[in-house]
């Protein structure tokens, strides 16, 4: 019976790790034929800070003025080991919740006495799982929250909220785009390309 529970626990833990790893590799690369040419505006924003909505609003505003400009956006990767620690914490959270739900006394398997906290978790499975879930989510959120709202034009950084402490106003962003488009197309009238309306 105990070997069955342990096997099930290991299987569920392995599945959680595989799902976590596969979730990071969902990006589909563009082929050379499918890639758009011309200037690219790229946003890197902190999703956990709620900046995705700001990004979507800016895309709408920018598309009205520059309909041919390619605009991409993605979550800003937190610096250092924060992302790795958050992923490990997420996996540990799942393993602990599975251990609590299955009622496995992992300490007994290692020849250690059962702590009173673990006994409380086993006796109050629902509450323990909810508490662990929300506490780990809060810590993970703090680890990946960067506060970033970075803007690049053709892979050249043109605005950084991490450096300036604020998000650019739309007129500022339009001025930045205009400046970079004029610098890129010095010998061509930008109005004829369709980027200036």
pLDDT in the model for residue 108: 85
- Two structure tokens written together for 57: 């609003």
Per-residue pLDDT, 185: 64
Q: In this predicted structure, what is the pLDDT of residue 183?
A: 79
Residue 131 has a pLDDT of 95
**Residue found by looking up tokens 């086993």 in the block:** 122
Render each residue's pLDDT in the chain as its tens digit; 197 residues.
566 666 666 676 666 656 665 555 544 444 444 445 668 889 999 888 888 899 999 999 999 988 888 999 998 888 788 889 999 999 999 999 999 999 888 888 888 898 999 999 999 999 999 999 999 999 998 888 888 899 998 888 999 998 999 989 989 989 988 888 887 766 555 455 554 44
| pLDDT of res. 104 | 84
**CATH class for domain 38-76+147-190?**
alpha beta
User: Domain map of the chain by residue range?
Assistant: 38-76+147-190, 80-145
């Amino acid at each position: 019976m105990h070997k069955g529970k342990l096997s099930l626990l290991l299987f569920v833990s392995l599945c959680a790790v595989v799902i976590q790893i596969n979730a990071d590799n969902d990006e589909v690369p563009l082929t050379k034929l499918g890639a758009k040419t011309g200037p690219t505006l790229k946003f890197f924003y902190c999703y956990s800070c709620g900046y995705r909505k700001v990004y979507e609003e800016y895309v709408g505003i920018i598309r009205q003025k520059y309909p041919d400009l390619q605009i991409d956006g993605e979550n800003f990767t937190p610096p250092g080991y924060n992302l790795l620690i958050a992923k490990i914490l997420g996996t540990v959270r799942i393993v602990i919740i599975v251990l609590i739900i299955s009622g496995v006394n992992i300490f007994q398997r290692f020849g250690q006495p059962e702590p009173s906290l673990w006994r409380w978790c086993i006796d109050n499975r629902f509450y323990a799982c909810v508490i662990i879930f929300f506490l780990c989510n809060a810590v993970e959120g703090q680890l990946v929250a960067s506060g970033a709202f970075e803007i690049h034009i053709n892979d050249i950084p043109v605005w950084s909220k991490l450096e300036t402490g604020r998000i650019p106003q739309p007129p500022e962003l339009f001025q930045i785009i205009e400046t970079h488009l004029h610098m890129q197309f010095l010998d061509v009238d930008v109005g004829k390309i369709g980027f200036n309306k």
